Amino acid sequence: HIAMSEVLVERNELEAAEAHLARGAELGRGSGRLNAVTNSAPALVRLRQTRGDAEGALAAIADAESALGEPRAYLARAELLALKARALVRQGRLSDAAECVSQATSLAGGDRGLTGEIVALAATRVLVARSKPDDAVAHLTRALAAAEASGRLGTALELRILRGLEHLRRGDIREAEADVDRAIAFAEPEGYIRIFVDEGEPMADLLRRLATRPARAGESGSHSAAYLATLLAAFGPADVSRSPTSSPQPDAALSRSASGVASRGKRPGRQPSALIEPLSERELQVLRLMAEGLTNERIAARLIIALGTVKAHVHNISGKLGAQNRAHAVARARELEIL
């Protein structure tokens, strides 16, 4: 059940994933096997992140660490620390993430199996988040070549996606599109979805570009239009047919989730009339990242905009919601069912 939940999370079948997780936990408790808690952590963390519950994701990791019990479970602890590092990167807490990677690397002790791979990927996430785009691309290129040479195709897929985003961050649109195009072609047969969606708005922009431009000679991507449409739909209810360079419509009341979260259950409709002025599409994107707990610096990196622009958006959001600070703004947005 736990293994199936991880597959279902990746395929964006979140309700089914949650059901398998619950069943796995129930069976684990019945058998007295504590490793059910630790093994379920990756899927549970991703589920909570899709719902914008950043603190809940960290709490799931803490529960798993407590459940380990055995102090000599070095590899399991290393994997949980790597998972925590990735969660902290999403929140923009890069120093804390780097400390987790350092501890995980020490515990892994040069492991060349799955644990070593998990830790190395977390370390790459931290390094990329702290690097300039040119340095990040160089590191990712080396890591990607090594992953492909050793047949670690899942890792190679993630690294290629990251490199595409770093190409975008440094303004190299053609290379960014080429990387993501190849990643999609590899991912389609396996039904990957969240690996793209979890990268947020920059990935959505790249996918829209691919959906609206003609194929170029010599490109190796061979994904279907239907799969690309499925990926775009997973970002949320916004108009995914819109060109990435066009302006949002004035009456747009919804935004794609900047964290890649497809809304579940009751979706917000138009913004409430209680607002003096509706939030813009970009302000909604910033608001959702604020709700994830991301710092202004990390929001700027995620949306590829200037730090000053983020601060201006936060100021405007607080003013429109009548909030005194960031936390109050998020709370008000939840009260008004904007989030």
Mean local confidence (pLDDT), 151-163: 96
The first and second tokens of residue 83, run together, are 């998972």
Q: Per CATH, is 281-335 categorized as 1.10.10.10?
A: yes
pTM of this prediction exceeds 0.75: no
Q: Decide if 206 contacts 224 (C-beta within 8 A).
A: no
Q: Best-predicted range by mean pLDDT among 68-77, 150-159, 301-310?
A: 150-159
Give pLDDT, residue 243: 35
Give pLDDT, residue 240: 37
Asked if residue 52 has pLDDT above 90, the reply is no
**Residue 309: pLDDT band with limits 50, 70, 90:** confident
Side-chain half-sphere exposure of 316, counting CA atoms within 13 A: 17
Where are any strands of DSSP class E within 116-218? none
Tell which residue, 21, 87, 32, has the closest CA to residue 59.
87
Q: Decide if 284 contacts 296 (C-beta within 8 A).
A: no
Residue 293 burial (C-beta neighbours within 10 Å; 0-12, 13-18, 19+): buried
Place of tokens 């599109």: 177
CB atoms < 10 A from the CB of 89, how many?
23
Tell which residue, 177, 102, 105, 164, has the closest CA to residue 136.
164
Q: Decide if 245 contacts 229 (C-beta within 8 A).
A: no
Question: How many whole angstroms separate alpha carbon 135 and alpha carbon 206?
Answer: 21
Mean local confidence (pLDDT), 52-66: 90
Mean local confidence (pLDDT), 16-39: 75
Give pLDDT, residue 141: 98
Question: How many whole angstroms separate alpha carbon 179 and alpha carbon 167?
Answer: 9
